[in-house]
């Protein structure tokens, strides 16, 4: 730390010297004619020692400096790439070259000059004018590798992006995936909408909410755990195909698979069901893969995954559990029996975990990681799925599926329950359970029930975890790698 503090002090001294020389170290703006990629594209065919007649103007951060008396080389980087610049005192002028001597790695500069190719064929710019655009007071890290720096990388993502080029590629891919989602749904006749992120009643999922307070309205509000009930209100209102790429908040644990703030795609389609959602889900993810990667095959955690082999496998939850654990889910009617099953299988769970959470732990321990190729796991117990329709042939089960790819859970979908009387019964059953995190009784969303009483058509609904989808596409085993600023514990000072 003493060494870094000393370097910072040296740079601050240079900053003051530059100001005394009449240099504004933080000008308001700078106009460019090209970015680095455009320079490389346009002039990449120059022969060794060939130079252009016209000049170009571009800007970037200095990544390296090689000073050699009255001539120097540097590498600058913008968002499109890296390029060498060549600075000579006899071209720049003595005064400007003296200013250049006070520049450091990390500084942002704007340069104007002629493009040329060196004797070794490296494309470069002979600088005729250089302008300091932002003085960097803190030195860039020389090395940024290994697990020892993983927490610092997440906390200081700005430096992670500067030093690790592959990290930027992850977030470019993320952006392309979200664009592809929108493109597919827009082309399929869906309407993108926005629903409230602050809600007076928790609903749409079984999760612990964040509680906040609105001063002017003098009321408690929750950050949403799901947009589901609001999106289905829109289906009632006649919007037959709606979707939202939304931020959700769940006051639960942090892990390589969970962040308290995360991104979901949620969509609803009138006159469809969970079979329609399976077909749509297949088509959408294959479209995304073709759009973003140009192929329908992925490599995730050393597993080659084929998305193009449709229909994807469809397997019963009951059958998978029976095959891998010997557990007969149909015979487990109580929380006590679910705990006994988990204890027998040596699966850990929290004391206050409800039945569905314990089942998730059992499934995760014995089944999930075996589901490498795209697989729909079908037909969950109805008491785990309070917003889903039951199967006609077996009312103990709900028409619900979860999608797994590469051993990761990516999506959840239902044939949506649209019977207001049955929905009220299930919500009343939920009310008997307490929201431990907020210390509040779970409330019935009477307005949602009122909406259902006006009539909602048959409907299929799908929720897709965008963060996890990105994980699979970029072959990352941690959700923190695909969220620009993941939630972290307090930094130890």
pLDDT digits (tens, 9 = 90+) for 81-140: 999 999 999 999 999 999 999 999 999 999 999 999 999 999 999 999 999 999 999 998
Name the one residue in this structure whose structure tokens are 């929201």.
435
Residue 143, pLDDT score: 53
Tokens 């509040």 sit at which residue? 440
Give the DSSP letter string of 300-358.
Answer: ETTEEEESSSSSPEEEEHHHHHHHHH---GGG--SHHHHHHHHHHTT----TT--HHHH
**Rounded average pLDDT over 327-333:** 88
pLDDT at 146: 39
Residue 436, pLDDT above cutoff 50: no
Rounded Cα distance between 298 and 292, Å, is: 11
pLDDT beyond 50 at 427: yes
Band the pLDDT of 245: cuts 50, 70, 90: very high
Separation between Cα atoms, residue 21 and residue 10, nearest integer Å: 17
| pLDDT of 410 | 98
**Residue indicated by tokens 């209102």:** 237
> How many residues are there in the chain?
493
112 and 57 Cβ atoms separated by less than 8 Å: yes
For the chain, residues classed under CATH 3.30.930.10 are: 157-312+373-481
pLDDT at 147: 34
**Fold of the CATH domain 157-312+373-481:** BirA Bifunctional Protein; domain 2 (3.30.930)
- 8 A C-beta contact, residue 55 and residue 85: no
**Burial of 144 by CB count in 10 Å (0-12 exposed, 13-18 middle, 19+ buried)?**
middle
Whole-angstrom CA distances from 314 to 244, 286, 394 are 26, 17, 18
Which part of the chain is CATH 2.40.50.140?
2-134
Q: Are 419 and 386 in contact (CB under 8 A)?
A: no
Mean pLDDT computed over 208-230: 94
Confidence of residue 253 (pLDDT cuts 50, 70, 90): confident
Q: How confident is the model at residue 490 (pLDDT cuts 50, 70, 90)?
A: confident
Q: Could you confirm whether domain 2-134 is CATH 2.40.50.140?
A: yes
């Amino acid at each position: 730390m003493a060494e870094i503090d000393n370097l910072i002090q040296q740079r601050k001294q240079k900053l003051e010297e530059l100001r005394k020389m009449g240099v504004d170290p933080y000008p308001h703006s700078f106009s460019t004619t090209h970015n680095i990629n455009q320079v490389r594209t346009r002039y990449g065919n120059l022969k060794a020692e060939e130079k252009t007649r016209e000049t170009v103007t571009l800007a970037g951060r200095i990544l390296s400096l090689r000073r050699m008396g009255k001539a120097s080389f540097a590498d600058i980087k913008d968002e499109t790439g890296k390029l060498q610049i060549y600075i000579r005192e006899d071209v720049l002028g003595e005064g400007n070259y003296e200013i250049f001597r006070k520049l450091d790695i990390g500084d942002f500069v704007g340069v104007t000059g002629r493009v040329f190719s060196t004797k070794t064929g490296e494309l470069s710019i002979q600088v005729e004018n250089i302008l300091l655009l932002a003085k960097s007071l803190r030195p860039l890290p020389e090395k940024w590798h290994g697990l020892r720096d993983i927490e610092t990388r997440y906390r200081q993502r700005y430096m992670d992006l500067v030093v690790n080029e592959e990290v930027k590629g992850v977030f470019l891919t993320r952006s392309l995936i979200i664009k592809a989602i929108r493109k597919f749904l827009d082309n399929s006749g869906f309407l993108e909408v926005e629903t409230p992120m602050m809600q007076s009643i928790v609903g749409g999922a079984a999760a612990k909410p964040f509680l906040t307070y609105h001063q002017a309205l003098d009321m408690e509000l929750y950050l949403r755990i799901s947009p589901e009930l609001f999106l289905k209100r829109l289906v009632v209102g006649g919007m037959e195909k709606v979707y939202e790429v939304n931020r959700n908040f769940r006051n639960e644990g942090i892990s390589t698979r969970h962040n308290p703030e995360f991104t979901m795609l949620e969509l609803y389609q009138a006159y469809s069901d969970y079979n329609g959602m399976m077909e749509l889900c297949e088509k959408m993810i294959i479209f995304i893969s073709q759009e973003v990667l140009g192929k329908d095959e992925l490599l995730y955690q050393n597993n080659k995954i084929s998305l193009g082999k449709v229909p994807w496998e469809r397997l019963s939850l009951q059958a998978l559990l029976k095959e891998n654990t010997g557990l007969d889910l149909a015979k487990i009617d109580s929380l006590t029996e679910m705990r006994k099953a988990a204890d027998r299988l040596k699966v850990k769970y929290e004391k206050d975990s409800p039945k569905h959470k314990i089942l998730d732990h059992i499934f995760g321990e014995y089944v999930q990681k075996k589901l490498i190729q795209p697989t729909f796991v079908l037909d969950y117990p109805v008491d785990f799925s309070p917003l889903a329709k039951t199967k006609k042939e077996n009312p103990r089960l709900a028409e619900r599926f979860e999608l797994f790819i590469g051993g990761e859970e990516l999506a959840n979908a239902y044939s949506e329950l649209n019977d207001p009387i049955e929905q009220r019964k299930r919500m009343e059953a939920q009310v008997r359970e307490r929201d431990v995190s907020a210390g509040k009784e779970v409330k019935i969303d009477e307005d949602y029930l009122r909406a259902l009483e006006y009539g909602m058509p048959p409907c299929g609904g799908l929720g897709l975890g965008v963060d996890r989808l990105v994980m699979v596409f970029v072959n990352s085993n941690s959700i923190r790698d695909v969220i620009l600023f993941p939630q972290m514990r307090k930094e130890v000072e």
